[in-house]
Amino acid sequence: MDAELYSEAIQYEQLTQAVYQAILQNEGVKNVDVQHNVNIAGRSGVLHQIDVLWKFKQAGIEHTVLIECKNYASSLTLEKVRNFFAVVHDIGNAQGLMVTKTGYQSGAAEFANYYGLGLKLLRKPNDSDWEGRIKDIHLHLTAKSVVSTEDKPLTTKVFISPIDTDQEARLNTFNERGGLAIPNGADVCFLDANGNIATEEMRWWLPRQLKTLDKEDGGPYSQRIELNEKYVSVNIDGKEELVRVIGLEVTYFVESYSQETVSHGEELVEAILKDYNTGTTEHVKRA
């Protein structure tokens, strides 16, 4: 085998490895590592080179899946299938799969089916694979978002409610002195009654609360947001206290933006995997 053919054979084995790793992940099988180019001893003591394998436990018993990859342009012969069956039989307690690009001769398929070897076709997708399927998806998205610029500022008024009459008196006294400041900056998070963080930072949380879809570009728009059991920490005479926030009044501007996205099928699908006997086909997506 010359260097180019050898390289193509290795790439085909690695493609098989990646495809089955993706299939197992998509099926929710965890902690299974699909390996490439592994040497494993049979019951005879002979060491066998396996192109791709993975192991799993079922009912406390370990099972092994062995895959023989043949990057051939012609159908596999009975000899190739028979040789691989001997390897599977020698290793024991294993399921054997053969993977190739083109197909299997009739005698090879009959032998494999009788002895329970799986036969698969694996190749890169071509144009015929997209018949009856959507290949390319074009999406034109128009979204609306809240603007916050110097000439179109987002402003908020914070409405508070004292927790009790003692706090109300302290707040009134401190406010009369001109020292009461309710935090409402971009990095402020609302707290719960125990002082734990209850929301994201205001820069992320607030825009999600504002209605934009039914608004024309421009503004200003005004929206009242009612809050339940949300608090901020306020410094009153050198002591931090939790103060209940019952609502916000937000003034904001809206701006639209558009984006076009094109998804090409050949960029999404890594390979076509087809069961030789049933014809069941899987379009294996890229990781």
Domains in the chain, start-ordered, CATH in brackets? Answer: 3-123 (3.40.1350.10), 143-260 (no CATH)
Range from 2-6, 33-37, 166-170 carrying the lowest mean pLDDT: 2-6
**pLDDT tens, 251-269?**
999 888 665 544 444 444 4
**Residue 13 near residue 122, CB atoms below 8 Å:** no
Measure the CA–CA gap between 63 and 51, rounded to whole angstroms.
17
Name the packing angle between helices 106-114 and 78-91 (round to 10°): 20
Give the separation between CA 218 and CA 220, rounded to whole angstroms.
Answer: 6
Q: What band does 56 get if pLDDT is binned at 50, 70 and 90?
A: confident
Integer Cα distance of 22 and 268 in angstroms:
13
Q: Which of 38-42, 82-86, 258-262 has the lowest mean pLDDT?
A: 258-262
pTM over 0.85: no
Q: How far apart are CA 265 and CA 125, in angstroms?
A: 9
Amino acid at 258: S
